[in-house]
Structure 1
Amino acid sequence: MPVRDATPDDVEDICLLIEEHARYEGKDDLVLDRGDMTKHLFGPEPKAWVVIAEVDGEAGERVTAGMALCAWTFPSWDAKPGVFLDDLFVKPEFRRYGLGRELMAELGRRTSGRVEWDMQMGNAKAEAFYASLGGKPVEGWVKYRWLPDQE
């Protein structure tokens, strides 16, 4: 099952996957700006990157089945670049084919450091999937968020 780097031609599929993921998580009103997404992923100073999972469609064409949207991190105490996985989503009809594992394996191949992500509490399926990969919650740390434009 091929996994490849996204290109600007994939922006529509990337946005559709993120919007579908939002609906799956209960946020029905998310609509992304395709122009902003193109600029932030493929502009002169990209802020993130995407890996696409594809499958063969019924007519032999390649079909986008899932994706991982990531950004580089640099944890100072490790002194190694790492990957922050912001969004991992495989369309429900393509689950149980190993695509999530393939996407995660690709992220692991891209770093000598750590791969980290957040997971919504109460998502038992995601928790079981990540645990099956050897992923563990980070004990003793609390996630904070600051939105300076909203003060």
Structure 2
Amino acid sequence: MIRTATPDDVPLIHAMVRDLAEYEKALDEARATEEQLREALFGERPAAFGHIAQDDDSGEVVGFALWFLNFSTWRGVHGIYLEDLYVRPEARGGGHGKALLRELARICVERGYERLEWSVLDWNEPSINFYKSLGALPQDEWTVYRLTDGALAGLGAAVE
């Protein structure tokens, strides 16, 4: 079962974000707090949206998708950027990840969004194979760049 996240889900989402960061070998970079996630998802002006995967039999939360809107100047419409997709290891293979992606694809179709995009680490073969099995195509010609911490602060403070 897939449902829209609620404020009561924030502690579980936060825990799974940390689990995902640990899996991606970057736990030290996962500094978001529950309060920050609550504000981003449910504050006065939400910046992100979330969906929860629950086990059909037990009702236990087994995964989540956290996403936000992007915009394509080429297509002239919004799309969804999937920031995080995570299914707990013990629940993998049960269709929860596919169900979460299906819900986001449904939202795209319903709202006229023309893209559903995300990034995956190049060493994460199980996820890459899963995404390819759904028909997703890698965008190999694009390289992601990122400014954070000191580099971001330095550029932001630069005076020309």
Same-fold call, TM > 0.5?
A: yes
CA distance in 2 between partners of 1:150 and 1:129 (Å): 39
Long gaps (5+) in structure 2: 156-160
Q: TM-score normalized by structure 2?
A: 0.86
Identity across matched positions, percent: 35
Aligned ranges for residues 2-151 of structure 1 at < 5 Å? 2-29=1-28, 30-56=30-56, 60=58, 62-111=59-108, 112=112, 113-147=114-148, 148-151=152-155
CA distance in 2 between partners of 1:49 and 1:19 (Å): 18
Instruction: Note the alpha carbon deviations across 1:34-85, whole angstroms, 9 max, x for none.
Output: 111111110001111111000146xx5x211000110001111111210000
Instruction: Note the alpha carbon deviations across 1:68-117, whole angstroms, 9 max, x for none.
Output: 11000111111121000010000000011100000000010111311000
Greater CA drift, 139-148 or 42-51: 139-148
More helix by share: 2
Larger-Rg structure = 2
CA deviation after TM superposition for structure 1 residue 145, in Å: 1.6
Q: AA paired with 1:117?
A: W
RMSD: 1.5
**SS of equivalent residue, structure 2 residue 77:** coil
The number of residues matched between the two structures is 147
CA deviation after TM superposition for structure 1 residue 28, in Å: 3.6
CA deviation after TM superposition for structure 1 residue 9, in Å: 0.6
CA distance in 2 between partners of 1:118 and 1:139 (Å): 11
Stretches (4+) displaced over 4 A:
none
Q: TM-score normalized by structure 1?
A: 0.90
CA distance in 1 between partners of 2:9 and 2:154 (Å): 32
Q: Residue 19 of structure 1 contacts residue 32 of structure 1 at CA under 8 Å; is this kept in 2? A: no
Q: AA paired with 1:14?
A: I
Long gaps (5+) in structure 1: none
Greater CA drift, 137-146 or 23-32: 23-32
Q: 1:71 to 1:31 in 2, by over 3 A?
A: same
